[in-house]
C-alpha cells in the first residue's frame, strides 16, 4: 500500500481532454500521513489522538480492528509545512487515462490550487519561492524604511 498526502482542487482540469479532475492529487513531498488539503486549507498536519476506550466501544462496538486513533481539529504546528512555494503532485485522468503532473501552489502557508497541469509530462521539482517575497520580509522592509525616515 502506498501512502500519500493529497491536494484536492475541484476546478482542476485535464489539459488533454478537458475533463474535470475529481480525484485527489497525490504528493510524496512531505511525510505522507494521508492528510488531505482543499483549497484555502492551512498546509500542516492535524494532530492525532487516541480514541478513549469508552468512546471507541460506543463507535465501533467490540470490533477489535476498529481505528484506535483519530484526527483532531488542531494542527501539529502554527508554522505551515511550506510557506510559499510549489509542491509537485500527480494523478491520472479518469477519462483519457493520461498521467498528469502538476503543482499545488502554496501562498502564505495556504493551498491555493493546482497549477501548471501537464499530461504525460516530466515529474516536477519542488520549488520554494524566494523568502524576500514573504509577508514577513515585506513588513520588515517597511519597518526599516520607517526607521530610516525617522532616524
Ligand atoms: Zn483527460
Distance in Å, CA 147 to ligand 1 centroid:
55
What average pLDDT does range 18-30 have in this prediction? 96
Q: Determine the longest span between alpha carbons in the chain, in angstroms.
A: 72
In angstroms, what is the span from residue 16 Cα to ligand 1's centroid?
5
The pLDDT confidence band at residue 30, using thresholds 50, 70 and 90, is: very high
Write the pLDDT tens digit of every residue in 79-116. 999 999 999 999 999 999 999 999 999 999 999 999 99
Q: Per the domain annotation, does 126 fall within a domain?
A: yes
Q: Which residue range is the domain that position 17 belongs to?
A: 5-44+79-150
Q: What's the CA-to-centroid distance between 3 and ligand 1, angstroms?
A: 24
Backbone φ/ψ region at 34: left (φ over 0), alpha (ψ -120 to 50), beta: left
Q: For position 58, what pLDDT does the model report?
A: 87
- Compute the average pLDDT of residues 43-67: 87
Q: What percent of the chain has pLDDT over 90?
A: 66
Average pLDDT over all residues of the chain:
89
**91 lies in a domain?**
yes
| Residue 4 in this model has a pLDDT that exceeds 80 | yes
> What is the model's pTM?
0.78
* Residue 61 domain flag: no
Give exposure, 103-136, as e/b (b: 16+ Cβ within 10 Å).
bbbbbebbbebbeebbbeeeebeeeeeeeeebee
State the pLDDT at residue 59: 85
For residue 96, give the C-alpha cell.
483519457
- Determine, yes or no, domain membership for 70: no
Question: Measured in angstroms, how far is the CA atom of residue 92 from the centroid of ligand 1?
Answer: 8
**How far, in Å, from the CA of 17 to the mean position of ligand 1?**
4
Helices of type H across 89-134: none
**14 alpha carbon – ligand 1 mean position (Å):** 5
* Residues 46, 74 contacting (CB under 8 angstroms): yes
Residue 133 has pLDDT above 60, yes or no: no
How many Å separate Cα 110 from the centre of its chain? Answer: 8
Report the separation in Å between the CA atom of 58 and the middle of ligand 1, taken as the mean of its atom positions. 44
Confidence of residue 132 (pLDDT cuts 50, 70, 90): low
Q: Looking at residue 131, what is its pLDDT?
A: 66
Task: Tell me, in angstroms, the distance from the centre of ligand 1 to residue 105's CA.
Answer: 21
Which residue do the cell numbers 515585506 mark?
138
Domain count, the chain: 1
Mean pLDDT over 34-40 rounds to 95
Amino acid at each position: 500500500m502506498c501512502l500519500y498526502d493529497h491536494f484536492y482542487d475541484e476546478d482542476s482540469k485535464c489539459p488533454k481532454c478537458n475533463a474535470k479532475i475529481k480525484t485527489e492529487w497525490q504528493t510524496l513531498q512531505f511525510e505522507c500521513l494521508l492528510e488531505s488539503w482543499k483549497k484555502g486549507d492551512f498546509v500542516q498536519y492535524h494532530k492525532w489522538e487516541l480514541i478513549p476506550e469508552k468512546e471507541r466501544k460506543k463507535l465501533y462496538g467490540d470490533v477489535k480492528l476498529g481505528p484506535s486513533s483519530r484526527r483532531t481539529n488542531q494542527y501539529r504546528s502554527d508554522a505551515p509545512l511550506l510557506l510559499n512555494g510549489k509542491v509537485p503532485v500527480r494523478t491520472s485522468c479518469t477519462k483519457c487515462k493520461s498521467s498528469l503532473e502538476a503543482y499545488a501552489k502554496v501562498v502564505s502557508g495556504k493551498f491555493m490550487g493546482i497549477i501548471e497541469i501537464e499530461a504525460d509530462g516530466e515529474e516536477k521539482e519542488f520549488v520554494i519561492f524566494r523568502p524576500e517575497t514573504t509577508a514577513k520580509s515585506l513588513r520588515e522592509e517597511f519597518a526599516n524604511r520607517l526607521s530610516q525616515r525617522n532616524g
